[in-house]
Structure formats: structure tokens, C-alpha cells
Amino acid sequence: MSEQLTFELPVREALEREAFFVSPSNAIALAILDTPDLWPNNKLVLTGPSGSGKTHMAHVWAVDQSAVIIGIDELADADIPFLASLRNVVVEDADLVSELPQPRATEEALFHLHNLTLAEGGHLLITANTAPKHWQLSLHDLASRMEGTSLAKIDAPDDALLSAMLFKQFDDRQLAISQPVIPYLVKRMERSTANLRGIVEALDAAALREAKPISRNFAAQVLDNISLSAQDKT
């Protein structure tokens, strides 16, 4: 018997404001983001667990403010004066700085970007999983500036947000699902967004491999297989 041919379609992650779902867990953070003129000293750190929507919110803000986005892993080699001259800047995943090949150079770059951007009268938005006091910064001047920056925190997701994020993940992958699938997944899955993308990827791969639609029963089978696989690794 010939094997089922599968083709991976490109995943287009929708990052427009219209694709962002507002719920009680992120509404306050979004409201703070939408009023940059009220940010103390024109800077803000946006925190939340992995997969909670920080990148989406940062892209929404960047579009609204004509801001440039740069990852913390790109900062050491970036043209800092040029970035600061653009006035509104987003730095993503700042809490990973201690894990980078050039942590000291990256810290110095972030320090200069912070000072130059604010001197230009611009705004600096920084995203991270945790608050600055947990970033293990070795540059004292940077640590004091980051720890003195106001925080906007995305809380743990509620059912409404988990449902919306699941729907978005399926939609980004152009996957059609039956109506009961999302409520079932929300009830069964771990109460965090960290493994949400992995569940959708597993369902996508299994549906392609077996040429089956994603129904509630199919989702139950895939989740059971994920659980068994996790148990085998322990």
C-alpha cells in the first residue's frame, strides 16, 4: 500500500489588531500599550508567559506607532544610533539576554538603545517572559534602568482567550475543524499557552498523515498519543 502523500502548507501568523482577541487576562496590558503618552519616562516592559500574545501585541503597537521591531539576539550587531533615530522601538525577548553568545555586548547595546531612544523623545517597548529583576543582568546601570521601568503584565489565559488562541492557530494553518473541537481541547489541555502551539501542530501533522478531518474524536486520539509519549519519556 502506498503511503499517503502530505504537503505542509505555509503558516501565516496573523498579527494585525483585528486578529487579536481581548479578554480579561490581557485587557489591562493592551490598554496600557494603547496609551504610550502615559508611560512613565516613555518606556514599558510587557511580560507574560510564552505564547501569551506578547509578540502579537508588540506588532499591533509597532504598526500604530510606526515602530521598528528587533529581537534581543540581534541587538549586539545592530546600528543602535540608527534604531534610536527611528524614535519608537520594540525589543523582543529581553529576558533571554544571559543565554546569548554575547551577553555583555547585548546588554551594552540595550543600555545605549534605551538612553538614545529616550533622548530622542521616542518610546521603548520591551517584551519578556519575566520581570527585569529575573533577567540576570550583569551591567548594573542597565539593570537599574530596566528594574525602574513600568510593567504591563499579561495574566494566565482564561477559557475565552485559550479558545481564541486555538482558533487563531488553526486559522493560521488554514485548518478546518468541527465545532466541538476547541471547547474539548480547552477542557483537556494544560491551563497554559506554552503547549497550545504544539497541540495544534500535532493535530495538523496527524490529520495530514492520516488524511482525516480534525473532529472531537480525532483530537481525543491525538491528545492521548501525546500523553502516552510524554509518559514514555519520564
Here the cell at position 70 is 528587533
Q: Which of 27-36, 190-199, 218-227 has the lowest mean pLDDT?
A: 190-199
User: What CATH number does residue 163 fall under?
Assistant: 1.10.8.60
Query: How far is 61 from 147, CA to CA, in rounded Å?
Result: 22
Please, are residues 72 and 58 in contact by the beta-carbon 8 Å criterion?
A: no
The mean predicted confidence, pLDDT, of the chain is 86
Q: Do 31 and 147 reside in the same domain of the chain? A: yes
Task: Please give the average per-residue pLDDT across 104-114, as a whole number.
Answer: 98
Query: How far is 110 from 123, CA to CA, in rounded Å?
Result: 14
Q: Do 138 and 204 reside in the same domain of the chain? A: no
Is pTM beyond 0.85? Reply is no
**pLDDT value of residue 172:** 84
Q: List strands edge to edge, sheet with 151-153.
A: 68-71, 88-92, 123-128, 43-47, 151-153
pLDDT confidence band for 24 (50 / 70 / 90): confident
- Any domain includes 172: yes
Q: Do 58 and 81 reside in the same domain of the chain? A: yes
pLDDT confidence band for 189 (50 / 70 / 90): confident
Task: Please give the average per-residue pLDDT across 109-129, as a whole number.
Answer: 97
What digits encode the pLDDT tens for the residues 32-76?
Answer: 999 999 999 999 999 998 877 888 889 989 999 999 999 999 999
Q: Do 149 and 186 reside in the same domain of the chain? A: no
> What angle is formed at CA 25 by the lines to CA 46 and CA 94, rounded to 5 degrees?
20
Query: How far is 232 from 7, CA to CA, in rounded Å?
Result: 29
Domain boundary among 124, 153, 182: 153
Q: Where are the alpha helices (DSSP H) in 34-190?
A: 54-65, 80-85, 103-119, 140-147, 159-172, 181-188
Domain residues for 137?
A: 23-153
Query: How far is 111 from 152, CA to CA, in rounded Å?
Result: 20
Domain tally, the chain: 2
| 206 CA to centre of own chain | 25
